[in-house]
Structure 1
Amino acid sequence: MIKRTIYISIILLSMMVIIKADMNPNQIYKQALNYTVELKCSKSNSDTVYATAVLIDLKGYYVTNAHVVTQSINGNNYDFEIFEIRYYYEKEYQRVTLEKYDTKTDLAILKGLPQKKSFKVNLEYQTADRVYAIGNLNETGIAITSGIISNKEVIIKSKNTIFKVIQTDLTISYGNSGGALVNSKGQLIGIISFRNKDNKGNVIYGLAYCIPINDVMIYLE
């Protein structure tokens, strides 16, 4: 009886630890503000694009999407000339440089000043996990939306390119590109990338695709 009681107590304690390890949305959002920034890309005689970037290395490296830092004109990609980021507490943008990008992975790396922020990543996630999108939603500043992983790994073909991505039911919009995909423990597990379109070219709402953080780390190297 004593052994059984101890065994049940251990199970209950383990469940309490797991529950305690999860963060509420407000905590997740506040923590993500330390490494998620607004991004502005511009070029003379061209439109200005607003998106999101995520601090991925304390040396000042940020990750975003390749489709954000380039502009497609008549099927050709052209780099923007000026790249600027802004943390939530800043009024002015600060210049960063474009280190590299890859349209096949839809990843780009920016370099800014070294930082003393804190962030954690997690390479493991499962279908049905609770997740959050942190990004510059509709160019209104860093915002948060929530959902679940509807499929932890799907293959999407687009313009002769194959993407292996995380499928979620998150609500994202213009400006979310390059933002953070975070789990219920506040850990970074991916980068927001794109929404898909139907056969008529209309955006499919309620589905958002994200690049796994492991692929980001490989590209960063």
Structure 2
Amino acid sequence: MYEDENNLYHYSYRKGDEQNPNAPIDTKNYAEDPWDKNPGGSPKKKGGSGLSGKIVALALVCALVGGFIGAGVSGAATKVNKTSVQVSDREVAQVQTVKVDGKTQMSMSEVYASNVNSVVSINVSATTNYFGQTVQTAASGTGFFITEDGYILTNHHVISDASSVKVTLYNGETYDAKVIGSDEDYDIAVLKIDVTGATPVVLGDSSKVAIGESVAAVGNPLGELTFSMSEGIVSCVNRAINVDGTPFNMIQVDCSINPGNSGGPLFNSYGEVIGIVSAKYSSYSNTTVEGIGFA
């Protein structure tokens, strides 16, 4: 996270809880119903509409389970008005892997299928000194292959101060990764795992990106929802933002960017990587904002 005057930015990597034995325990109940509009109040009275609501819900469930159930219920109720439910017989489309050549435009499903094996999930462990005590921390992010022999590109802030880095592939295999080098100013890092036959991405030309162009981010949001894709458009190009006193010109996008997406690829509709997901704009003058990410 970094702050520029009244603008608050968050790096989009997920940092785990610090295991500090003397830290106070947060007793807030996060399982509380977020839709409860009457917190701490007296129990709500159950009106007569509850039964009708249940009947409507049951009818909807019956309709979704199958047309024959809905037809049977309708037939039992009346012999005059027959109700039929149309059930789609559309088969699930089989998405074909398309070779990324920079010339063939793809659907977003094809972009995902053609590139998901190039994306990796990164989990980092670090040991820090917290008021004289050793504290274990964990973080997660995303990366992608740039060579067949296991070189991976990600963000510097994902692996900074790491004592160990593990990389998980789309097929579920996990490898220990070595940090080859990184640049804090440009927020870039290169990792290496011992693997052959990896599928590298195809790098595009970010200078040719146009506002309104479709883009997709594939990453590891929250460190758990691995290999998720979010779709959006380019909102602005060459957007100048200030990171710790260093100006950057970045691509602004409106696709969902969350903690754990950092270091992941931003694809165009040709399946090429045109940026590295780095940060999201989370607030402005104490106002929460959504749909503003940077690569």
Tell me the TM-score range normalised by the shorter chain: 0.7 to 0.9
CA distances 1:41-67 after superposition (whole Å, capped 9, x unpaired): 112432211110111122321111111
Which residue does 1:23 correspond to in 2? 106
Greater Rg, structure 1 or structure 2? 2
Find out whether 1:96 has 2:177 as its counterpart.
yes
Q: Distance in 2 between matches of 1:168 and 1:63?
A: 20
Supply the AA of the counterpart residue of 2:169: Y
Find out whether 1:129 has 2:213 as its counterpart.
yes
Which residue does 1:43 correspond to in 2? 126
Larger strand fraction of residues: 1
After TM superposition, the score normalised by the length of structure 2 is 0.58
Q: Distance in 2 between matches of 1:203 and 1:52?
A: 25
Assess, with a 3 A threshold, how the Cα gap between structure 1 residues 203 and 118 changes in structure 2: closer, same or farther: same
Shift in Å, 1:28: 1.1
Unmatched runs of 5 consecutive residues or more in structure 2: 1-102, 128-134
Supply the AA of the counterpart residue of 1:52: T
After TM superposition, the score normalised by the length of structure 1 is 0.76
Shift in Å, 1:166: 0.8
Which residue does 1:86 correspond to in 2? 168
Q: Distance in 1 between matches of 2:264 and 2:195?
A: 20
Unmatched runs of 5 consecutive residues or more in structure 1: 1-19, 71-78, 211-221
Supply the AA of the counterpart residue of 1:100: G
Q: CA RMSD in A?
A: 1.8
Please give the residue correspondences for 1:175-214 in structure 2 after superposition, counting only pairs within 5 Å: 175-200=260-285, 204-210=289-295
* Structure 1 residue runs of 4 or more that deviate by more than 4 Å after TM superposition: 199-203
- SS of alignment partner, residue 46 of structure 1: strand
Find out whether 1:62 has 2:145 as its counterpart.
no
Assess, with a 3 A threshold, how the Cα gap between structure 1 residues 171 and 67 changes in structure 2: closer, same or farther: same
Shift in Å, 1:153: 1.1
Supply the AA of the counterpart residue of 2:229: I
CA distances 1:70-103 after superposition (whole Å, capped 9, x unpaired): 2xxxxxxxx111011111211x521010111112
2:254 counterpart (160, 169, 181): 169
Shift in Å, 1:27: 1.4
Asked if structure 1 preserves the Cα contact closer than 8 Å seen for 2:175 and 2:194, the reply is no
- SS of alignment partner, residue 109 of structure 2: helix
Asked if structure 2 preserves the Cα contact closer than 8 Å seen for 1:33 and 1:87, the reply is no
Q: Distance in 1 between matches of 2:200 and 2:192?
A: 17
Q: Distance in 1 between matches of 2:164 and 2:286?
A: 30
- SS of alignment partner, residue 157 of structure 1: strand
Identical pairs, percent: 27
Q: Distance in 1 between matches of 2:190 and 2:156?
A: 9
Supply the AA of the counterpart residue of 2:170: Y
